[in-house]
């Protein structure tokens, strides 16, 4: 089967750094994506890692270790608007290359 695990909730203060971890078990793994979803909104694409290492996009960075079946999303200089749910999603070959989403991590940023 295919599954992803991530913490259900994380709390941090404005200006801090927070890391959201994701471990996965999936066959034919291609890469790991991250999505952000605000309450009542639609998921929006943040990043994709196909290779091991760190990818940086502004305040957000994403890391992948294929040997450890592990990745994380790093959010720096937290702002109140970063309060949202964050989903890791594994892209695998299976038979259609569909995206399998984790259950999501709710990030609460406090002043």
Partner 1 sequence: EAEVAQSPRYKITEKSQAVAFWCDPISGHATLYWYRQILGQGPELLVQFQDESVVDDSQLPKDRFSAERLKGVDSTLKIQPAELGDSAMYLCASSLAGQSYEQYFGPGTRLTVT
If you ran DSSP here, which 8-state letter would residue 80 be given? G
Whether 69 and 94 have beta carbons less than 8 Å apart is answered as no
CA gap 56, 62 in Å, rounded: 7
Closest to partner 1 by CB, 22 vs 78, is 22
Contact 61, 55 (CB under 8 A): yes
Residue placing its CB nearer to partner 1 in the complex, 45 or 54: 45
Least distance from partner 1 to the Cβ atom of residue 29, Å: 11
13 or 94: CB nearest partner 1: 94
For the bound state, the minimum distance from the C-beta of residue 50 to partner 1, rounded and expressed in Å, comes to: 8
Residue ranges in contact with partner 1 by CB under 8 A: 30-31, 33, 41-45, 48, 50, 87, 89, 91, 95-104
Residue 72 or 87: the one with the smaller Cβ distance to partner 1 is 87
The least distance separating partner 1 from the CB of residue 90, rounded to whole angstroms, comes to: 9
Q: How far apart are CA 77 and CA 67, in angstroms?
A: 29
How many helices and strands (H and E) does the chain possess?
0, 11
């Amino acid at each position: 089967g295919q599954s992803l695990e991530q913490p259900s909730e994380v709390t941090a203060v404005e200006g801090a750094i927070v890391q959201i971890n994701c471990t996965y078990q999936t066959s034919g793994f291609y890469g790991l994506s991250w999505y952000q979803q605000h309450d009542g909104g639609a998921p929006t694409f943040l990043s994709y890692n196909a290779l091991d290492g760190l990818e940086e996009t502004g305040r957000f960075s994403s890391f992948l270790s294929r040997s450890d079946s592990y990745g994380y999303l790093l959010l720096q200089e937290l702002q109140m608007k970063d309060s949202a749910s964050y989903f890791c999603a594994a892209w695998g070959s299976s038979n259609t290359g569909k995206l399998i989403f984790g259950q999501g991590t709710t990030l609460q940023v406090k002043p």
